[in-house]
Structure 1
Amino acid sequence: MEGDPITALCTPALVVDVDIVRRNSQRMLERCQSLGVQLRPHMKTHKTIECADIMTGGSRRCIVVSTLAEASFYAENGFDDILYAYSVPFDKVERCAVLSQTLSLFQVLLDHCDALEQLKKRPLRNGHKWHVWLKLDCGNGRAGVLHSEPGALTLAKAISEAEGVELTGVYAHCGNTYHCRGVEQIQHVAQETTTLVLHFMGKLKALGINCKSSIGSTPSCSHPIKDMAQLSEVHPGNYAFYDVQQSVIGSCSLDDVAVRVLTRVIGHCPHRNQLLIDCGWTGLSLDGAGKLPTGYAMIEGHPDLKLLSMTQEHGRVEPISGTLDYSKYPLGSLLRLIPYHSCATAMMHPVYHVHSSGRLVGKWMPTRGW
């Protein structure tokens, strides 16, 4: 119940410190205002209305989503100017068309000429146009047409000339910042990505094509470079919650991580020198395996403990060295896990318990599915 301490929750439970979320979000808004670029926050980490309101400053405009379930969820709750930043899946063109004909601005993303043909085969009604962003690969190595390929310019030109289609922008995700360690490395990748995008925009302009430009990742937007001011938009997302991974990269400090998974000690195993907890991989992502000396997460206040392994509903905790003092961890005692990857961990939970200074203030219910 609201007003209760978070320690009253049944475990495992995902708890969100709303004051930290607000602080993280305000800092990002101020960074973008200082740069003079539009912040288009990504919803993929939390997928909730409440957090989206905080990230957009209450405007309910200009967001990015990674699934059509998210797009529909936000559209139904009064959000507009939504970018579906996922290479157009052909089985979902009709769903994209419905959203494009419903919202004042729904935008899709593509990186292949076949996807453009699919959109042309489904013209929008009532004077609506397909608003398309070209996905550019500037070193991230996931989706996107490679920036240096002649086909990238050819595809951009084809989008701009297609009937019923508008080239709205060029979109590059600098996810390769996730391999960085420290601000200098983050800014090196941000500079490289920004430079490549701006160079591509120059080539478009020479062809008489004008559109928006956007790059983003939480690391690059947490430590932006001056040249990012020449972009139209940026699109980070994880920053509202942050996580241990972001602290290791150098995007934030652990004090900026807004989420914890609460778990309780349910077993003493002195023959293994271990504790058993009630959080397994259904409550905490396995992402991060082998990347931390503390195992799959950090255990707040207990840097000497390691979350060694997890099964579906159980976790095994042991000391990094030495012998456990079981008197410090009686059965039923509460531990706070700081997740390695908050996006993946949040996906495990159908409800987020929101608190301020350790007292419950409400629940956030995320959307799910694709």
Structure 2
Amino acid sequence: MLSKRVGDLCTPAFLVDLEKVKQNARVMQERFQKMGVQLRPHMKTHKTVECGDIMTGGSRCCITVSTVAEATFYADHGFDDILYAYPLPLDKVERCAQLSERLSLFHVLVDSTAALHALRQRPLQGGKIWRVWLKLDCDNGRAGVLYSEPLALLLAKDIWQSERVELTGVYAHCGNTYHCSGVEQIQAIAQQTTTLILQFMEKLKDAGIDGPKCSIGSTPSCSHPVPDMAVLSEVHPGNYVFYDVQQSLIGSCSLDDVAVRVLTRVIGHYPHRNQLLVDCGWTALSLDGHGRLPSGYAVIEGHPDLRSESQLSASSLLIYWYVPFPISPLHFPRLVSMTQEHGRVEPVSGNLDYSKFPLGSALSLIPYHACATAAMHPVYFVLSEGAVVDTWKPTRGW
């Protein structure tokens, strides 16, 4: 039976603020509608049907996924026009073929001649053709053919000339925006990535290849798009629906935009080492963000007066963990270490007042990286106006 009170939940628990999710999705959708660019939202952060509905406005059409398991999950729930945005693994060609034959539109990503050869070796049935996007590395440095390498154009031509294979588009991820700090840096990377992919599209036209789409994406770049992005066909951000502490540090959003929390409880007092123990280890929060926050692995939500009373900058506010009662800033705790199921909490300075953290009391953690944290949980508890109104179950696997 669904609990209607957050306080009744067993911890650790992953909480989702429904109103913030809807607001984040609406803002991104309206932003690119105004620019005349198709939003193809990425499902990798949440991996749920319900959030997919929100991000697509209920159309269940035109999405991005990062695993074949996600693609199959969404196909099973009536989604179509799915882009598998991952360099095609050769062991997954058959599963991709089945999805291509099953759906109206299923797209794969290629950045090697070996992957293209594998597609040629597996012709689709029913008159279907492979919808292929060329993965281009525009200085992100993860996957894709480097935009400046001759191989990029050669591979595009090879895809274009292949029988029963269509060069549907060119895809670039500007993940280097995750190293930014502030809107100016984000937009500089967004502009660079946009310029490079548009220049590559001109090379395609010069080679007689006209018609493929072009798409870039990352939550930072799509949260602060540059005007030239209006020339793109699509964008494919994903984290924006939840946001997180990392995105607030980058400059994509404010902490108020973050839609997710991890609820944890105090399970131990240890005055001899000036620490609390909580029931949130790395299996509930992940180790992502280690060493990147003065507050440890996360930020704790709490007393709203701290923001109005403090003249601190947004970034320096992150040294504080927010708790649901007043407490001197000098005594704010930080999550200093985690094991599999335990978290150790100690103050920034001074001694903990254990009367303010009784055993069983709850703390609400704002995760550093929502994608990594969400991946730790088999169910999300969805809140509206402070009450649990639903549960979402994400898909898992590859």
TM-score (norm 1): 0.99
Residues 280-302 of structure 1, C-alpha deviations (whole Å, 9 max, x = no match): 11111100000000000011123
- Aligned equivalents of 2:349, 2:202: Cα separation in 1: 57
Measure how far apart 1:172 and its partner are: 0.2
Structure 2: which amino acid aligns with 1:216? G
Residue 118 of structure 2 corresponds to residue 90 of structure 1: no
Q: Per the alignment, in what secondary structure is the counterpart of residue 140 of structure 1?
A: coil
Return the alpha-carbon distance in structure 2 between the equivalents of residues 180 and 151 of structure 1.
29
- Report the aligned-residue RMSD: 0.8
Aligned to 2:260: 259
Matched length? 370
Indicate which of 338, 341, 350 corresponds to 2:378. Answer: 350
Further displaced range: 1-10 or 68-77:
1-10
| Contact 2:69-2:397 within 8 A present in 1 as well | yes
1:248 maps to 249
Residue-by-residue CA offset, 1:234-266 (whole Å, 9 max, x unaligned): 000000000000000000000100000000000
Deviations along 1:331-362, one digit per CA (max 9) or x if unpaired, are 00000000000000000000000011210111
**Which residue of structure 2 lines up, in the alignment, with residue 45 of structure 1?**
45
Counterpart residue type for residue 212 of structure 1 = K
Letter of the 2:55 counterpart: M
Residue 276 (structure 2) pairs with residue 270 (structure 1)? no
Residue 330 of structure 1 aligns with which residue?
358
Measured against aligned partners, the alpha-carbon deviations of 1:175-229 in whole angstroms (never above 9, x if no partner) come to: 0000000000000000000000000001101112120000000000000000000
Which ranges of 4 or more aligned residues in structure 1 deviate by more than 4 Å? none
Instruction: Find the aligned partners of 1:295 and 1:35 in 2 and give their Cα distance.
Output: 39
Counterpart residue number, 1:300: 301
Q: Does 1:146 align with 2:174?
A: no
Q: 1:289 maps to what in 2?
A: 290
> Following the alignment from structure 2 to structure 1, what is the Cα–Cα distance between the partners of residues 92 and 192?
33
Stretches of structure 1 that go unaligned for 5 or more consecutive residues are none
Q: State yes or no: 1:366 paired with 2:394.
A: yes
Structure 1 counterpart of 2:178: 178
Gaps of 5+ in 2: 303-320, 323-331
8 Å CA contact 2:82–2:107 kept in 1: the answer is yes
Paired with 1:360 and 1:290, the residues of 2 have a C-alpha distance of: 33
Q: Name 1:135's counterpart in structure 2.
A: 135
Under a length normalisation based on structure 2, what TM-score does the superposition of the two structures give? 0.92
| Secondary structure at the counterpart of residue 273 of structure 2 | coil
Aligned residue type for 1:258: A
CA contact (8 A) 1:2 1:359 kept: no
Tell whether the 8 Å contact from 2:3 to 2:9 is kept in structure 1 after alignment: no
Aligned residue in 1 for 2:314? none
Shift of 1:84: 0.2
For residues 201 and 139 of structure 2, the distance between their equivalents in structure 1, rounded to whole angstroms, comes to 17
What is the rounded CA distance, in whole Å, between the counterparts of 1:305 and 1:155 in structure 2? Answer: 54
AA matched with 2:159: I
Give distance in 2, aligned partners of 1:25 and 1:2.
Answer: 26
3-state SS of the aligned residue for 2:284? Answer: coil
Q: What's the CA shift for 1:2?
A: 4.8
> Matches of 1:264 and 1:217 in 2, distance apart?
34
Is the Cα contact below 8 Å between 2:336 and 2:346 reproduced in 1?
A: yes
> 2: CA distance between counterparts of 1:314 and 1:192?
43
